[in-house]
Amino acid sequence: METKDIITIALSSAAFCFSIASFILSFKQKSMEGRYSLRKSLTDVVSEISNVNIAFAQLDIDHPNSADQKVVAFRRNYNDQRRYLAYHGAFLAEQIPDLVNDIDCLLIGGAFRASGNFDCAENYYNLAVSKSVNNSVKMNNIRALARYYFVQGNAALGRKYYQEALQLDIPDTDSVRQVVADTYMLWARVERDCGYEAESMRLKTLAADAAQRIGHGPLRNDTLQQIDIMFAGDRKEDGNTK
């Protein structure tokens, strides 16, 4: 084989290798761009779920327990939006599971719960727990799962998860003490809402005890005030509030 033929073959091989390398790099770049495009779409969906939740909450503030047909129609429309967004969010999340965070899962789970798909809601609440970046965040996510079980009528399982949240190994700082007090307070409220008055009052005491451990005065007083406000209606009904 002549030298020029060898050179031609070598150049052809080099060109072929360069083409393959360029293709691989281009494919990886497009794949990465596609993943980040999906992530942006998921962020938009989660943001929309949050907006619908805020609008729904505002509707309840403006028209509490209203049976007016216009208000009822708004509630149904909001829940239809949440159902659509939940399925769309779940589809996107399944494409990029490693780019999904616990907040995504909480909001998608809540949207599924609000629209009546309880199996998917439970799955995403559990996924939020598994994606917690530390125990302080995990406490927030476990207590959301605990409240979900209470609302589903499973108080025993709800209590189990609230206890699990409060038994996590977390830093003993003022901000975390406030979260602990808040967790007891939320647990007390859901017990009260489900008719377990004695347990609710026991947990209210634990919430106040946890709040008293907060060293920062304004934060401690604010937390204690939140506890008092939550139970103010009960004191009024008992005739203890003038």
Q: What is the pLDDT of residues 153-205, one digit of tens each?
A: 999 999 999 999 999 999 999 999 999 999 999 999 999 999 999 999 999 99
| pTM (whole model) above 0.95 | no
> What pLDDT digit, counting tens, does each position of 60-69 carry?
999 988 899 9
Question: Distances in Å between the alpha carbon of 53 and those of 75, 108, 140, 173, 232?
Answer: 11, 11, 18, 31, 26
Q: Where are the domains of the chain?
A: 33-131, 133-242
CA dihedral 66, 67, 71, 77 (to 10 degrees): 120
